[in-house]
A and B are shown apart, each in its own frame.
Chain A
Amino acid sequence: MTETVAATGLSAGTALSRPKVRRARIRGKWPVLVLFLPPALLLFTVFVILPMGEAAWYSFYNWNGYGLPTEWIGWKNYELIFRQGAFRNALVNNGLIILVSICIQVPLALWLATMVTKHIKGATFFRLIFFLPYVLADVAAGMIWRFVYDGEFGLVANIYHTFGLDAPFWLADKNAAFSAVLGVIVWKYFGFHMMLFIAGLQAIDKSVLEAADIDGATGWQKFRRVTLPLLGSTVRLSVFFAVVGSLQLFDMIMPLTGGGPSNSTQTLVTFLYSFGVMRMQVGFGSAVGVVLFVICVTLAFSYKRIFMKND
């Protein structure tokens, strides 16, 4: 083995002739293509691309999923979607998740990241604890918080009871329920964002901060003028994940509220589930899927175009 490495080390010296040499020596390009590509290609086409195309097709039909779709109704499913109050709730809620991520989660994660990257004992331990909720399943996190928020046996109830007050049922109150859900989302995901910021902070060149030190910058000035600008790409990445995550949120809502009360905690995916899947309205559900797809692709593309073009 070592001999051959040495041998090619010599031939590799003439960089220009290398591609030619390689092409001449490598045998059997076709067997590898025929063996290696089709499994992934087939699976991906059958279970990802075709269903997406079919969703677009089904979305123009009124169809319950049995037999073939025959009842063409044009854009009616789409009109129905936008006329539903629950869908507007879902859109607003998804927006709220993104807003909370930007205004609370990202600053919180960044703040914690700056603390656990300091030279203190137990920093690693705190990182692990903060990351732990992210590893738990959304369903389990939702269940745990359903207990926390429970108005009779939960932690919130116990706190109220110690003060001799009647405990509220936040998850059953349509004005409070979604705020409660937002709390769980921050609890579950801030650790992930913190890890992104830790990586970002570790990538900052220490000499820049030392230079600021020599110039007599205070801690806050260093953070505001040096660290934060250098973390720009991490902030944009973190917000990007908050946006993508918000559009997929489903598992956590189901054990917490199931989208209720009176559809006040619907997200786009729970809306798709309760109005498309539960009622077996394949046409309508597919139309919701298409709307979700368009939102995902538009947001992902425009966000990358506008904010992440230099990253």
Chain B
Amino acid sequence: MTDTAINPIDAAKAQTPGRSLRFGTKAYLYTCLIIVAALVVIPLVTTALGGFKTLGDLRGNAFGLPSTWMVSNYSDILFSQRYWLQMGNSLLIAGLTVFLTLAFAAMAAFTFAHVKFFGSQFLLNYFLIGLMFPAATAILPLFIRIRDLGLLDTYWGVVLPQVAFGLGMSILLFRNYFRSLPTELFDAAFVDGAGYLRFFWHISLPLSRPIIATVGIISFVGSWNSYILPLIMLNSESKYPWPLGIMVYRGEFSTDWQLILAFITLTILPTVIVFFAAQKHIIAGLTAGAVK
């Protein structure tokens, strides 16, 4: 249980300058890397290009550039209400999930890190049970609970279980981080007469930006990509987040691959842009839970 918040995996980290490599070695390295990179990128690029093609073009020429650029495939989707509605739904659900996860996990982790009370270790382990199994195991009782609470087909019906299942990991990450802050701060604040609440708000939280970012990214990406919970909890299409919307869209235009490809491209575009814009934080965040 070492703390990775201190040593996040950093993709951009510069290498220690080693000996320069021989030409043969370099050629070998680049050949291998480029082949693997092509295997990763070609499906993505052909998907994006396929969205500009006609169906006939796609059949004969899936790899090349479109013979005529059918910009209307994309613009029709961009001007449709459903695309923006789905993106909005996903954003709303993810936003609520991130906010509640951060608030509840930080508060609970703070008590585990700083307040000595009877049963503290037991309660922490209780939360860690949540790390051991996926939400799918309890999906049917969860569905019945949400139904009985009257939350079926509401955003909360998706958000609350997502937050609950994210709590274990988030509390663990927050607690480890809080404990790594220098103890002198606590002593100083308490000598000054600050209580726990003021200490949490004025000292712990402002110092916790890195871990807030990490937990925020984990829970945002998890929620943005999540499929099974909304699939089971939501009924009306107007509330669907994009992973569900994409499946519905495919169902409607089952063989019009060019439209489906355009739709897929537009739905993953925000993820790709954000990933390249904030890659350092995202890689560190998404691997932080792994190396906990």
Contact = CB atoms under 8 A, between A and B. Distances in A.
B188 A1 contact: yes
B92 interface: no
B197 A31 contact: yes
Interface string A142-164: 01110110101111011001000
Nearest to B256: A153
Contacts of B134: 247-248, 269, 292, 296
B127 A44 contact: yes
Interface in A278-299: 282, 285-286, 289-290, 292-293, 296-297
Nearest to A115: B29
B140 A47 contact: no
Interface residues of A, number: 108
B83 to A, nearest CB: 14
Given A36-B110, A120-B30, A132 B40 contact: yes
Given A112-B33, A150-B257, A157-B62, 7 more contacts: A12-B183, A37-B107, A51-B145, A140-B267, A255-B247, A277-B143, A289-B137
- Closest 9 pairs (CB-CB, A-B): A47-B164, A137-B225, A51-B138, A40-B108, A36-B107, A54-B141, A51-B141, A32-B196, A8-B187
B26 interface: yes
Contact of B191 (A25, A35, A150, A251): A25
B117 A33 contact: yes
B184 A5 contact: yes
Given A4-B192, A126-B37, A39 B104 contact: yes
Interface of A: 1, 4-5, 7-9, 11-12, 18, 21-22, 25-29, 31-33, 35-37, 39-41, 43-44, 46-52, 54-55, 58, 65, 112, 115-120, 122-124, 126-140, 143-145, 147-148, 150, 152-155, 157-158, 161, 187, 191-192, 195-196, 198-199, 202, 206, 237, 241, 247-248, 250-251, 254-255, 269, 272-273, 276-277, 282, 285-286, 289-290, 292-293, 296-297, 300
A40 B171 contact: yes
Interface residues of B, number: 112
Contacts of A290: 137
Interface in B176-201: 183-193, 195-197, 200
B144 interface: yes
Interface string B22-50: 00001001101100110111111011001
B60 interface: yes
B123 A37 contact: yes
Is chain A's binding surface mostly helix, strand, loop or mixed? Answer: helix
B78 interface: no
Contacts of B195: 26-28, 31-32
B197 A35 contact: yes
Contacts of B41: 129
Contacts of B188: 1, 4-5, 7-8
B165 A47 contact: yes
A165 to B, nearest CB: 14
A277 B193 CA distance: 55
A143 B115 CA distance: 48
B17 interface: yes
B91 interface: no
B130 A44 contact: yes
A153 B59 contact: yes
A297 to B, nearest CB: 5
Contact of A31 (B61, B165, B196): B196
Contacts of B164: 43-44, 46-48
Contacts of A32: 110-111, 115, 195-197, 200
Contacts of B168: 44
Interface stretch (B66-74, B205-213, B272-280): B272-280
Contacts of A248: 134, 136
B291 A286 contact: no
B11 A37 contact: no
A117 B29 CA distance: 11
Contacts of B228: 250-251, 269, 273
Nearest to B224: A137
A254 B231 CA distance: 11
A130 B36 contact: yes
